[in-house]
């Protein structure tokens, strides 16, 4: 163990940082796009099925194929990796946002409107807070996907923990495979834990007990 960190410690930290940056940027873009879009689809149900089906179709593309497909448009490096992983993050967040908003009790929405709230005020102050547990479940699932698939980003020069993993596979060095795999697993667990804490923070106090059941 000590010999491994002595030889590969600096590379491990560099690859870990690259992995975090790629995963965070892809997930952030996914949330910024998918959450507002999911809310919008609840107001335009006629196209909701088409949009969600399109997102589902994009996620069926093999990760490596999608990463490779980005190269003619964005070259190699972090940019194509982030865009490809962003596409993969869309479906879980979009679908859960749509479902969460759809499952808000219509009577609560009617009460909000009866109090004089506009449609936007109702979404921001009533519907989104109630839908937070469902939305965050999608974000947490997307985070797991993105962190796992980010290991393939090394194939297009984006770095990340995949550099260690695939170098170990190519050169028959189990210590490199383990050295890249364990941090990726730990990163996914830490991300899920932090997102769970964020979910608790964003969920209204009156709904926290219900969401934990």
Residue 156's domain is classified under what CATH number?
1.10.3720.10
Q: Which residues are CB-neighbours of 152 under 8 A, at least 6 positions away?
A: 63, 64, 67, 162
Tell how far CA 75 is from the center of its chain.
23
The predicted-structure confidence for 167-205, as pLDDT tens digits, reads as follows 999 998 999 999 999 999 999 999 999 999 999 998 888
Domain with 138 in it: 8-204
Amino acid 211: pLDDT: 54
**How many domains does the structure of the chain reveal?**
1
The answer as to whether 108 is a domain residue is: yes
| Residue 2 domain-assigned (yes or no) | no
Phi/psi zone of residue 118: left (φ > 0), alpha (ψ -120 to 50 degrees), beta?
A: beta
Predicted pLDDT at 63: 86
Q: Is residue 30 included in any domain, yes or no?
A: yes
Q: Is the Cβ–Cβ distance between 145 and 152 less than 8 Å?
A: no
Is 13 inside a domain boundary? yes
Residue 131 lies in a domain: yes
pLDDT lower than 50: segments of the chain: none
pLDDT in the model for residue 100: 95
pTM above 0.85, yes or no: yes
**What is the rounded distance in angstroms from the CA atom of residue 67 to the CA atom of residue 140?**
22
């Amino acid at each position: 163990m000590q010999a491994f960190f002595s030889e590969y410690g600096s590379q491990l930290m560099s690859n870990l940082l690259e992995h975090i940056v790629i995963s965070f940027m892809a997930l952030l873009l996914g949330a910024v796009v998918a959450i507002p879009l999911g809310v919008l689809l609840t107001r335009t149900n006629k196209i909701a099925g088409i949009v969600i089906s399109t997102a589902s179709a994009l996620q069926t593309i093999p990760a490596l194929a999608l990463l490779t497909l980005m190269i003619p448009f964005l070259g190699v490096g972090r940019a194509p990796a982030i865009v490809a992983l962003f596409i993969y993050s869309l479906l879980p967040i979009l679908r859960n946002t749509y479902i969460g908003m759809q499952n808000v009790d219509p009577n609560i929405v009617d009460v909000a409107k009866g109090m004089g709230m506009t449609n936007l005020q109702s979404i921001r102050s009533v519907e989104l807070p109630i839908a937070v547990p469902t939305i965050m479940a999608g974000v947490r699932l997307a985070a797991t996907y993105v962190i796992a698939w980010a290991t393939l980003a090394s194939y297009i020069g984006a770095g990340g923990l995949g550099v260690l993993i695939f170098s170990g596979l190519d050169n028959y060095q189990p210590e490199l495979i383990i050295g890249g795999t364990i941090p990726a697993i730990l990163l996914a667990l830490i991300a899920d834990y932090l997102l769970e804490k964020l979910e608790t923070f964003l969920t209204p106090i009156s709904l926290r007990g219900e969401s934990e059941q």
